[in-house]
Copies of this chain bind each other. A is one copy, B any other.
Amino acid sequence: MALRHAVLAALLDGESSGYELAKAFDAGMANFWHALPQQLYLELTKLEKDGLIQGRAVIQETRPNKRLFSVTDAGLAELERFAESSAKPAFIRDDLLVKVRAVDSLSAKAVIEQLEERALIAAAKIDIFERYLHRQRGDVDEQAFLSSGDRIGPYLTCMRGLRFEQETADWCGQTAQILRVRYGVGADA
């Protein structure tokens, strides 16, 4: 029952179609949850059936018709219940860490390459997140925005995503460097 609440939380940004949500939950932007389009469409159907969101059809001329969903009062109440229930601990679960853990028994080259690739991906996300944060806070500085802006939830979670990616980029870069030195693999992996 977790995607359920992630979708509700995302819909607080305003009415949205499955397709738009799918983009938001995809690799690029998902700073607080990740899901594939198929899951989202399914979840939206269930949420509507349960009365937690309501959809309205939008007939389009030039594009396929779509349905825009928004959170109902029952949905808000459900989110409130969710927020009060105890959160389960979050874990890192990452293929790349498994590979690094085993690196002493493997040929390091592939691992180094993947660390460097991951660092680049993280750098791209950092860029996206920084732009988003800047756009959100507008002219005021961060402190001022956080104390008086009218919607800070998305900002706060994006901050977390940003720091996570910065940490990822740093660790991947440093780890790749250490392994390169140890195993004499050139920098131009």
A90/B94 in contact, CB under 8 A: yes
- CB A2 to nearest CB in B, in angstroms, measures 6
Known: A12-B104, A80-B107, A182-B147. A88 touches B92 (CB 8 A): no
Contacts of A83 in B (CB 8 A): 99, 102-103, 106-107, 110-111
Tell me if A37 counts as interface (CB < 8 A to partner B): no
Query: Which residue of B has the minimal Cβ distance to A75?
Result: B105
Q: Is A137 an interface residue (CB 8 A)?
A: no
Contact with B along A152-164 (1 / 0, CB 8 A): 1110110111011
Q: What CA separation (Å) do A89 and B89 show in the bound complex?
A: 20
CA distance A77 to B171 in the complex (A): 27
Decide: A105 near B92, CB < 8 A? Known: A2-B98, A86-B114, A178-B156: no
Number of copies: 2
A69 to B125, CA, bound (A): 40
**Which of A12, A101, A163, A178 has the most chain B CB atoms closer than 10 A to its own CB?**
A101
Contacts beyond the supplied A32-B98, A83-B102, A103-B152: 9 A-B pairs with Cβ under 8 Å: A2-B93, A32-B101, A33-B98, A83-B110, A87-B95, A104-B151, A104-B153, A146-B182, A163-B170
Residues of A at under 8 Å CB distance from B? 2, 5-6, 8-10, 12, 27, 30-34, 76, 79-80, 82-84, 86-107, 110-111, 114, 118, 121, 146-147, 150-154, 156-157, 159-161, 163-164, 167-168, 170-171, 175, 178, 181-182
